[in-house]
Structures are given as structure tokens and as C-alpha cells.
Amino acid sequence: MSDYATVNPATGETIEEYPTLDDQGVQDALTRSHAAFSTWRATAVADRAAVLSKVAAAYAEREDELARTIALEMGKPVRQAVGEVQLSGAIYQWYADHGPALLEDEELDVQGAEQSVVRKLPVGSLIGVMPWNFPYYQVARFAGPNLMLGNTILLKHAPICPRSALLMEEIFNAAGLATDAYLNIFATNDQIADMIADPRVQGVSLTGSERAGAAVAEIAGRHLKKVVLELGGSDAFIVLDAPDLDATVRSATRGRMSNTGQACNAAKRFVVAEPVYDDFVAKLTASFEEMTPGDPMDRGTAIGPLSSQSAADTLAAQVDKAVSQGATVLTGGQKVDGPGAFFQPTLLADVTPDMDAYSEELFGPVGVVYKVASADEAVELTNSSSFGLSGSVWSGDEALARDVADRLEVGMAFVNEHGTTMPGLPFGGVKRSGFGRELGRWGMEEFVNKKLVRVSKPPVSKR
């Protein structure tokens, strides 16, 4: 089978296969992207913004087609897929609306000159290595700000998302983007390593696993290329108290089960204060049990299959190992019988630091509950993770919740909400969750030449 293929994870059926680039194709893509940079960087900022606005409009016009494509490719429930399409379009429109102002020159204190200015300029051709779990949204976070800047993009998508990858390229071209300023490339990992090393490439952004991030960072570092990495997460959902326990449980369920639990910033660890622990866990268990995996094409489905059979097998092995090491399964714990990559909504308890499940990421509909005696213990347990993407704190005592949120070692902390993503908010983590930021003005500050221009009067000889 080809490296790139559309395989319906709900049935296991292979729909279509796509050829990968040959060695000459790699060189052609590098040459074309590098050449396009001269044209796209010279395009007026207002014209770049107009292209992104057309892209946003296309996402709205083709919403159903785009949503159904990823429901077929990676199993996202189609109702959630529509939400992803809308968010992606909003990101492109945000950069169309705000990008021109963000690119204006910054006047500095002249400090002995006539003028000191920082200009924000593009750097060249960039590689984006994107994952399958949010096929459009992840690309928008990278492509939106960098195309607005005037950079050009070589986009390697996940091998299970070829149809959506081609659709995005088609939309950019139809919107009037400079020829070859955005190129979809069906490349292998080895080919991407060679492309990162090529002097025509100026940087790389990867969203994916720790292993992939480390490999890309090593190659990029060896060749002095800028890197942005958005990697895994094991985000905590800290419940200190619950003025409305039912509402908090609903938020916890959404935070864990959205996208069938396949999100780096999903609520994966439920850290619950002792006074509310028993009631919270009982209600959360019941809530998980009410969720039935179903056909992602059905608008009534809230939880679909995992992205692939191998993903379901990996998750099953992780849960089995946790149980063998002493964890308790409160509900679920197994794959669903049948041809699809379905997995039961699962809740684990009694996970201790010596177990693998304590430190690894569970990428699917599996949550872990922990009981803590105090807010200090909640912070300590949360920060014991090697990940640091995001976390949330739930309490009727806003001052206490703010204090706990401030003490979390994460890139994003939320009080009484979890995982909120908006075009103008920065997204990124610390520790093994990666480095760099996407979205908002921060997304335009990564692959940019902040060029200082100073102007002084010509020297005059003393007489």
C-alpha cells in the first residue's frame, strides 16, 4: 500500500491510494517554492490579506464537502468536523483582518540616529509537518500567519489525510495565491529530512509526537533552521469544588471525548479534591457510559472511531498494561468488536507514578482520575508530568482558581473552561509539549525577520 491513502477508519475500507514524490519531485518542489518566494513576498500586504479572505470564504462555501472529507479520512464526527472547518476559516479571516496592522513598521527610540525602525519581513520557504487529528485547523494555524507574512509553504500532511490535503491546496490556488506559494507534498519522512537540510528551506513547523519533534529538531538544529514544535500533552482538569457538579461533569466529558479524545490539549487527567471526588467520579463514569461510538457521518454521533486500527491497537495495549500494573477500570477498557477502529469510552483510577500510564499520553477516549487532599497537592500532581501544554482549574472560588492556574507549568491555563481555541489567542506549550507559539500576533512572530533599519545623517568633517 502507498504511504498516502484514504482508509475509512469506521469500516477499515481502503478508498484510494496516492503516490509519494520521487527524488526529482522533491527537488522540483524545493525549486518551485523557493522561486515563488520572490513573487509572494513582493505582493502587497493588502493583496495577501485579500487572498486569505477568499480562502476563508471558500471554507464557508464548501463547509459540508470539507467536513465529510475528514469524517471519511480520520473518523471525526461530522458535526465536530463542521466546527473545525468553521474555526479554520475564522483563522484565515483573522489574519486577513489583523495581519496588515501586525506587519506595520515599529518605530523605536532613535537613540542617536534620525530614525530607528523594526520591519517585519518574511524569511523564505517553510516546511509544515502536520498531523491527522485536526486536518484543517492545524494547517490554518501554520499557513495563515506565514502566508500573511509573505513566506511560502511546503506542506507535508499526515499520510491518512491525502484528500483534505489536496482540497486545501486547491482552495489556496483558487483564491489567487501566487503560483507555488503553497505546495502540498506527499513526501516520506526521509525526504522531509533532506528537505529540511536544503539551504532553500528556512524553517520548519511540526505538530505531532515527541519522537517526531525530536527527530525534526535534531535535523533542523544541525542545519541552523528555526523550529516550532507543538507536541503531546497530558492536560489536567483540576476540580477544587463544584457549585454545579452536573455542569462540571458535562464540561469534563466534552473536554475528554471531543474528537474521540484525539487532541493534544484534551482533558486527560482529572485531578479532583477529596470532598467532591466520589460524586464527581460517579457522575463522570455514568457520563462516559452514555456515550456510544457510532458512524462519524451521522450528525447525531458524538464519538467516532479512532483514526486507524493501529491507533486503536496502541491505545488498547496502553490500557491493558495499566491494568496489569494495578490500575482499575471504572468503565470501558476495550476496543469495540467489529471492523472499525472503535474504542469504548474508558475511565481509569488507581494509577500511580510507577505505572506507564502515569507519564505517557493516552491518545483516545481514555481518562484517568486522581484524588487530592488540597489545592497544593493538585498543583504538585499536575506539574509532575513531563508535558506542559495546558490545564484547567474548576472552582466557585475565583481567587483560589486563579492562584492555582498561575502555578501550573503549562503554556495555557484556563479557569472554569478547558482548551479554548480562538484565532487571536496564543497556542503552545512548555516542557516536552514543545516550544514556539501559533495563532494571534504570536503566530506571526516565529518565522519572521525583525529587521532593524537605522538612518543617520551623513558624516561631516570637522573644520
What are the angstrom distances between the C-alpha of 31 and each of 146, 149, 195, 390?
Answer: 19, 20, 11, 39
Rounded CA separation 192/169 (Å): 18
Which H helix or E strand runs over 156? strand 152-156
CB 122, CB 202: distance < 8 Å: no
CB 10, CB 295: distance < 8 Å: yes
Catalytic residue from among 73, 84, 161, 264 = 264
Reference 385, options 353, 340, 413, 414; nearest CA is: 353
Rounded CA separation 427/134 (Å): 14
**Which three three-digit cell numbers place residue 386?**
513531563
List alpha helices for 43-184, DSSP H: 45-61, 63-74, 78-102, 137-149, 162-174
Rounded CA separation 394/300 (Å): 29
- Residue 325, amino acid: Q
Residue 161 known to be catalytic: no
Catalytic residue from among 84, 169, 230, 361 = 230
- Residue 450, amino acid: K
Reference 258, options 268, 248, 244; nearest CA is: 268
Bridge partners (DSSP) of residue 228 are: 205
Q: What share of the chain is helix, strand, coil (3-state, %, to 5)?
A: 45, 20, 35
Phi, psi (degrees; rounded to nearest 5) at 43: -70, 135
Residue 230 known to be catalytic: yes
Catalytic residues: 230, 264
